Amino acid sequence: MLLLTKPFILLFMAEEQKAKSSDGGRTSERVSGRQERGYAMVALDSPSHPVNVGHTLRAAMCFDTRLVILSNATSSINLRRLPTDPGRTWRHTPVLSVESVFESLPYDCTPVAIELTDDAEDLVDFQHPERACYIFGPEKGSLSQETLNRCDAVLKIPVTLPLNLAATVNVVLYDRMLKMRRPELRPGGNNPRTTR
């Protein structure tokens, strides 16, 4: 029978931990899931329902979105009292309240509209830009033609019925996360299904 003393066990555990943490000079995968390059932002144009704003903020936190923009939000939107954002995302992810989404876009950020139009590109085939601001329209309406014209791409989600605002935000951010983790689907990757 082998009897292990406490100092030996502690030494063994320390060596095992050292082996796990050593990556031989390579970088380790980030725990947060944050991609190596680029960022995503979410902009809500004229949001009116606090529940949808809360769910959007929660999605922003879950998918590591760097900024949330609320453009022309109604007075019923109180960030401190959103029942669907128990984590108080506004404390961890910046939220801007502005009149126009475009006045808040960082340098070299690609505006991408999410809207059901006849000529919108299917999200399934879309290659996400490295730096993107996804602009979502109001719950009871559409993005203006001016907004659509200023965006580099207009996307739609192929569904039989329109999704609500919060569900749409979650689907788009999940699609981005999934594709950015696959090298062939990143900007500049060799994906024959995409044209961007």
pLDDT of residue 120: 95
Mean pLDDT over 140-144 rounds to 91
d(CA 109, CA 24): 35
Amino acid identity for residue 61 in this structure = M
| CATH of the structural domain 39-183, one choice from 3.40.1280.10, 3.90.180.10, 3.30.1440.10, 3.40.50.1700 | 3.40.1280.10
| 98 phi/psi in degrees, rounded to 5 | -135, 170
Q: Is the distance from CB of 117 to CB of 156 less than 8 angstroms?
A: yes
Q: Is the distance from CB of 125 to CB of 158 less than 8 angstroms?
A: no
Mean pLDDT over 7-13 rounds to 45
DSSP code for 163: P
Q: pLDDT tier at 186 (50, 70, 90 boundaries)?
A: low
User: Residue 17 above 60 pLDDT?
Assistant: no
pLDDT of residue 53: 86
Higher pLDDT, 18 or 139: 139
Q: Is the distance from CB of 136 to CB of 49 less than 8 angstroms?
A: no
Long-range contacts (CB closer than 8 Å, 24 or more residues apart) made by 150-153 = 150/102, 150/111, 151/111, 151/112, 151/113, 152/110, 152/111, 152/112, 153/110, 153/112, 153/113, 153/121, 153/126, 153/196
pLDDT tens digits, 97-128: 899 999 889 999 999 999 999 999 999 999 99
User: Residue 130 above 70 pLDDT?
Assistant: yes
Distances (CA, A) of 76 to 50, 82, 92, 189: 7, 10, 22, 43
Q: If you average pLDDT over every residue of the chain, what do you get?
A: 79
pLDDT tens digits, 50-91: 888 888 988 998 898 989 999 877 677 776 677 677 677 777
pLDDT of residue 48: 83
7: how many CB neighbours lie within 10 A of its CB? 8
**CA 23 distance to own-chain centroid:** 29
Mean pLDDT over 123-149 rounds to 94
Higher pLDDT, 154 or 195: 154
Higher pLDDT, 181 or 148: 148
| Lowest-pLDDT range of 14-28, 42-56, 142-156 | 14-28
Per-domain residue ranges of the chain: 39-183
> Which of 155, 181, 183, 177 lies closest to 168, judged by CA?
155
